[in-house]
Chains A and B, each alone.
Chain A
Amino acid sequence: MLQITNLHASVGDVEILKGVDLQVNAGEVHAIMGPNGSGKSTLANVLAGNPSFTTTAGDATFEGESLLGMPPEDRARAGLFLCFQHPIEVPGVRLDHFMRAGFNAIRKSKGMDEYDVLKFDRLLNERVDVVEMDRNLTKRSVNEGFSGGEKKRNEVLQMAIFEPKLSILDEPDSGLDVDALRIVADGINQLRRPDNAIILVTHYQRILNYVVPDQVHVLIDGRIVRSGGKELALEVESRGYDHLGRPAEATQASG
């Protein structure tokens, strides 16, 4: 589904990703772990097409088509979803209206009927349960005045509405207490299907107790230095990132 080859990306003059290789197939959950500043969020944003980042070398293809040069809305319409680490506030725009606008834009691009308010409301009423979200929250402005937990749940709710093929979750666990973490993780698990895939970017192993990954990759200084099964996350948890070697060893370790 997703094939990343030797991907390099920068912000301004600073190179953040220094040659990332990764393959994600349908039905898989990949966890990407790494210390602060290792490039995890950059990878997530570059895949979603955030214009603040420039890809300088390599390629990323989604279902056989290169993502590079594809505008972010086209990536979204192709079924790529980014769960934001820091969801953005859009004052004055009701969350349900916002979601419907995106939902319909995606349907329209596929030549499908748009949902009217009533039909979309029904869908929404059904899906809010995935993250145990108060339906009234969807009548407020997008993310405005939401607590940290509400923002994260809202991202997963949108994932439930959009039903993407590939979801990239950028630290969906950061800043959550145990209960909220369980709710978010449960939500993600409910959305796991054989025909979709998830990339879960996280700093801590904790969420991986709930959302069990098929593969774990450790990203350090813009390169994947180790890949393995879920036990790799436990190793990181007990020994930290430091022992995982210098980025120079990356090419051997990744795969």
Chain B
Amino acid sequence: MTTTNQVVRDVAKQEYKYGFVTDVEQESAPPGLNEDTIRFISAKKNEPEWMLEWRMKAYHHFLSLLDGERLPGWANIHHPPVNFQDIIYYSAPKAKKELASLDEVDPEILSTYEKLGIPLQEQKRLAGVAVDAVFDSVSIATTFKEELAKHGIIFCSMSEAVQEHPDLVRKYIGSVVPHTDNFYAALNAAVFSDGSFCYIPKGVRCPMELTTYFRINSEGSGQFERTLIIADEGSYVSYLEGCSAPMRDENQLHAAVVELITLDNAEIKYSTIQNWYPGDDEGKGGIYNFVTKRGICQGRNSKISWTQVETGSAITWKYPSVILRGDDSIGEFYSVALTKAYQQADTGTKMIHLGKNTRSTIIAKGISAGHAQNTYRGLVRVMPRATNAWNFTQCDSLLLGDQCGAHTTPYVEVRNNSAHLEHEAFTSKVSEDQLFYCNQRGISIEDAHSLIINGFCKEVFKQLPLEFAVEATRLLEMNLEGTVG
């Protein structure tokens, strides 16, 4: 018994390994949010007039929400109010000049990514993975661009896309998550600084994994990236995002927006390994992660699949969703959320069935340790036209110790009688019997925990691209590390 409690305490206390700060000269906007902030960001990025107008519209909408105190209050999370005038909305490493190649990137930044396990240099690149590296408010580098261009694939930073592919950006940006969607989506639309843009042309199967790695470095800054992925007819892409931040006592805000669009017969597989700084074991510091992610299966027989492994952030508030507009389209959501110490996660998904024969699957696994609170919140909505819609939902919770909490809040709205919905949920603890069984086979308490937890998460992990599944497993193990046998 004591050993188990020890493990639970240690789980709650494990150290964050990506908490270092990179010492580079930064160029920042002054803290605070007003029209000038937005003009500053827009000017920094040399944006066309329409983009600035788009931001301004969002900003004024955000102001009206803020003044009307219309902040989202329904989530099972608790934090002091965020002062939006204290945040630095733009912070970038000072570029000495226009970068002609990766060799000119500040070596400090290159070594940062290397420490994070994301080498960017030509000779060390991850085979078969193209990376866009976002450092605070800007994209530092995107690898394998030429290789991808041969297939007609566009993979670049959002800032570059606004310059190089304005028609595509203008057509799709805000089409899935409009600035009026919610409070943080409005804020993001006003001040978004960078992010990734990806376009897969008709009939192309993207030959490699695309990855964006987000790193918050500067003190007092927030990160507001915006990602847009468009899969044209009959195309396929697998995309992964990773993230981390230094350890700081203050809370930093991360409010991203991700929009996915699939046309006829296209498929996007979007995976996230979220490892923002979660705060210390007393609950001090950590990232507030308020993210809006949504995809639309615009075309018939198209598919969007979200897989997320959430281990970081002081607060996670995100609901990657799929609008199933095209007939026969498929939406999937696979999630593992591990919360420990004083972390809070309110996460889940929305599946909106509009088209006929649309199918969705939701598998959510929540693991809580320490004093953490873990909530699954999901909505399955079947609209009148969605004949023969099908949904399967399974949300399971695993508790480590007796001071944490797991909550499940499913919403179901069905307006078509032909819909078929199934829902399963259970909450369990790692049992003493399971631990003893493992111990009796020579497996230590610590390894037994990670074995049992990995087993619990297996259905989700098997959705991840192979090498990231390994990373996710390692990440969970790391979060369980530092225990006595």
Q: A: which residues have CB within 8 A of B? A: 48-52, 71-73, 75-77, 81-82, 84, 87-93, 98-99, 101-103, 105-106, 109, 141, 158, 162
Seed contacts A72-B439, A73-B443; 6 additional CB < 8 Å A-B pairs: A51-B436, A73-B445, A73-B485, A75-B440, A88-B434, A92-B454
Is there contact, CB below 8 Å, between A90 and B452? yes
Is there contact, CB below 8 Å, between A158 and B456? no
26 pairs, A vs B, C-beta closer than 8 Å: A48-B440, A50-B436, A51-B432, A71-B439, A71-B445, A72-B440, A73-B442, A73-B443, A73-B444, A73-B445, A73-B485, A76-B440, A82-B440, A84-B437, A84-B440, A88-B433, A88-B434, A90-B434, A90-B452, A92-B459, A93-B452, A101-B438, A101-B443, A101-B447, A109-B442, A162-B442
Partner of A93, one of B432, B442, B454, B459: B454
A155 to chain B, nearest CB (A): 10
Is there contact, CB below 8 Å, between B443 and A105? yes
Chain B residues positioned under 8 Å from A71 (CB to CB): 3, 439, 445, 485
Closest 5 CB pairs of A and B: A92-B455, A102-B441, A93-B455, A92-B458, A72-B439
Partner of B441, one of A49, A89, A92, A99: A99
A80 to chain B, nearest CB (A): 9
Is there contact, CB below 8 Å, between B443 and A102? yes
Is there contact, CB below 8 Å, between A90 and B455? yes
Partner of B456, one of A81, A92, A106, A109: A92
Is there contact, CB below 8 Å, between B442 and A102? yes
C-alpha gap A50/B444 in the complex (Å): 14
B432 to chain A, nearest CB (A): 7
Q: B: which residues have CB within 8 A of A? A: 1, 3, 431-434, 436-445, 447, 451-452, 454-459, 485
Chain A residues positioned under 8 Å from B443 (CB to CB): 73, 101-102, 105
Is there contact, CB below 8 Å, between B452 and A105? no
Partner of B432, one of A52, A77, A87, A90: A52
- Give the one of A89, A92, A93, A105 with max B CB within 10 A: A92
Q: With A51-B432, A90-B434 in contact, do A73 and B439 touch (Cβ < 8 Å)? A: yes
Chain B residues positioned under 8 Å from A50 (CB to CB): 436
C-alpha gap A13/B452 in the complex (Å): 31
Chain B residues positioned under 8 Å from A77 (CB to CB): 442
C-alpha gap A51/B3 in the complex (Å): 10
Is there contact, CB below 8 Å, between B432 and A162? no
Chain A residues positioned under 8 Å from B447 (CB to CB): 101, 105
C-alpha gap A98/B454 in the complex (Å): 12
Is there contact, CB below 8 Å, between B440 and A90? no
Chain A, Cβ-Cβ closest to B451: A93
- Give the one of B431, B439, B456, B459 with max A CB within 10 A: B439
C-alpha gap A77/B444 in the complex (Å): 10
Chain A residues positioned under 8 Å from B434 (CB to CB): 88-90
Chain B residues positioned under 8 Å from A51 (CB to CB): 1, 3, 432, 436
Partner of A88, one of B1, B437, B444: B437
Partner of B439, one of A76, A84, A87: A76
B188 to chain A, nearest CB (A): 36
C-alpha gap A89/B1 in the complex (Å): 20
Chain B residues positioned under 8 Å from A98 (CB to CB): 438, 441, 451
C-alpha gap A182/B317 in the complex (Å): 57
C-alpha gap A52/B436 in the complex (Å): 9
Chain A, Cβ-Cβ closest to B365: A92
C-alpha gap A84/B440 in the complex (Å): 10
C-alpha gap A109/B439 in the complex (Å): 13
Chain A residues positioned under 8 Å from B1 (CB to CB): 51
Chain B residues positioned under 8 Å from A73 (CB to CB): 439-440, 442-445, 485
C-alpha gap A75/B451 in the complex (Å): 20
A45 to chain B, nearest CB (A): 8
- Give the one of B431, B436, B442 with max A CB within 10 A: B442
- Give the one of A93, A103, A106 with max B CB within 10 A: A93
Q: With A92-B458, A106-B442 in contact, do A72 and B436 touch (Cβ < 8 Å)? A: yes
C-alpha gap A50/B431 in the complex (Å): 13
C-alpha gap A50/B434 in the complex (Å): 11
B398 to chain A, nearest CB (A): 10
C-alpha gap A12/B447 in the complex (Å): 28
- Give the one of B441, B444, B454 with max A CB within 10 A: B441
C-alpha gap A71/B6 in the complex (Å): 14
Q: With A52-B432, A98-B451 in contact, do A90 and B437 touch (Cβ < 8 Å)? A: yes
Partner of A105, one of B444, B455, B456, B458: B444
